[in-house]
Amino acid sequence: MRLRISVTQEDIDKGTSRSAYCPVALAVKRLGYKDVHVLGEIRADDFRFSVPLLAAKFIDRFDEGKPVYPFTFTATRIG
């Protein structure tokens, strides 16, 4: 199973760093998942997905307060 995740400017504007409300988590929640955490991997309800390098760099930049921009990536289910 693969997820195509689009992080929008609205996700970035509403997101908070190092929380269950980071922009990537907000984007995954828009796909219909309720319990979402992003910590080295994406945990969405009962599923785990990889975080590709592009998304990991985005998360690091966002958490450091650096400029980030909307983007789309694919996460692959693991486990």
pLDDT in tens, 22-52: 999 999 999 999 999 998 899 999 999 999 9
In the predicted model, what is the mean pLDDT of the chain? 96
pLDDT at 40: 87
Tally of domains in the chain: 1
User: Residue 42: enclosing H or E segment and its boundaries?
Assistant: strand 42-44
| pTM (predicted TM-score) | 0.95
Mean pLDDT of 5-25: 97
Higher pLDDT residue, 62 or 79?
Answer: 62
Q: Is the pLDDT of residue 79 over 80?
A: no
Query: Whole domain around residue 61: which residue ranges?
Result: 2-78
Hey, what amino acid is at 70?
Answer: P
Hey, what amino acid is at 72?
Answer: T
Backbone φ, ψ for residue 69 (5° rounding): -135, 155
Structure token pair of residue 54? 């592009």
